[in-house]
Amino acid sequence: MALRDRGVGTGETVAICMPRSINLVVAMLGVLRSGAAFSVVDRNLTAERRDQIAATLQPALFIADSDVDRSDIPSGDIADIKSLIVQGNSRRDPLPCIQPDTPMYVMFSSGTTSQPKGIVVPHGSFARYLSWAHALAGEDRPWTWALASTASFEISYRAFISLISGGAIAVYPASGDIEIWSLIEAITADDVDFISLTPSHLRLLVSRKWAITRLTTLVVIGERLSTELALRARDAFGPNVSIQNW
């Protein structure tokens, strides 16, 4: 594999600095296939913040898109995702041995301080969560999940549930710096079964009624969901869309 040729493997971490796209999903899955952990670095962060995350993370490699301004990426070894895809398609290496405590991804939160705090999530914990969530979502058919929120937080990794169901991830690229437009696009397109979002997102969406035929579930996570907001969402999206908090 292209990443292994660069010395990336189990125990390493790879920083992904790319806009939300199909290639971003490819990068995440490719890093996992190498045995390493990924960390998606939001390009909208300040340069100082990105440098702090890089200093904490100490990644073995940065993966970027050719369209990304290299000045947005902290110094280090940088690989272009398109080149990695071409190199990776030329061979098939055996999968690495992954243990339950092997890190899967690292996400950063400032917490109560101004310094970024890395939270390491191992494969075992995420696998248990996926199994539980898949059973909760329903194991009767493949699901399509929208990737319409920032990929630097685990709100977006719920989309992996669709892959273990035999379904697909539908990627909605960011529209400028305003994330809510991607969610609106996902809702109006109405070609997915699940959308994950925060209560702050949801509050911006309940001022109108939506014409929905396919969407079955809004998974609201990351913040406190009030009964008042859940009822407004039920009215806005209709009785056939389930509002769930998990």
Closest C-alpha to 144, from 170, 173, 178: 170
Q: What mean pLDDT is predicted for residues 127-144?
A: 91
pTM of the model: 0.89
Q: How far apart are CA 178 and CA 18, in angstroms?
A: 16
Whether the predicted pLDDT of 91 surpasses 60? yes
pLDDT value at position 69?
Answer: 61
Mean pLDDT, all residues of the chain:
90
What's at 71, amino acid-wise?
A: S
pLDDT of residue 95: 80
> What is the Cα–Cα distance from 201 to 195, expressed in whole angstroms?
11
* 144-163 pLDDT per residue, tens: 999 999 898 888 898 999 99
Interval 57-70: pLDDT, tens = 999 999 998 766 66
Q: How far apart are CA 110 and CA 190, in angstroms?
A: 35
Both tokens assigned to 126 = 């995420």
Q: What is the structure's pLDDT at 179?
A: 80
Over the stretch 182-240, which tens digit does the pLDDT of each residue have?
A: 999 999 999 999 999 999 999 999 999 999 999 999 999 989 999 999 999 999 999 99
User: Quick one: CA dihedral 22, 25, 26, 27, positive or negative?
Assistant: positive
Angle, alpha carbons 142-148-152 (nearest 5°): 110
Residue ranges of alpha helices (H) inside the chain are 2-5, 22-34, 47-57, 81-88, 123-137, 160-164, 180-189, 199-205, 227-237
Crossing angle of helices 81-88 and 22-34, in 10° steps, is 60
Q: In this predicted structure, which of 24-38, 164-178, 226-240 has the lowest mean pLDDT? A: 164-178
Residue 132 has what DSSP assignment? H
111 pLDDT exceeds 60? no
Q: Which residue has the higher pLDDT, 110 or 18?
A: 18
Q: How far apart are CA 137 and CA 193, in angstroms?
A: 10
Instruction: Indicate if the pLDDT at residue 115 is higher than 80.
Output: no
With a cut of 80, say whether residue 175 has pLDDT above it: no
Amino acid 96: pLDDT: 86
Using one digit for the tens of pLDDT, what is the confidence trace for 123-134? 999 999 999 999
Q: Which of 49-58, 84-93, 101-110, 212-221 has the highest mean pLDDT?
A: 212-221
- Of 198, 187, 133, the C-alpha closest to 162 is 133
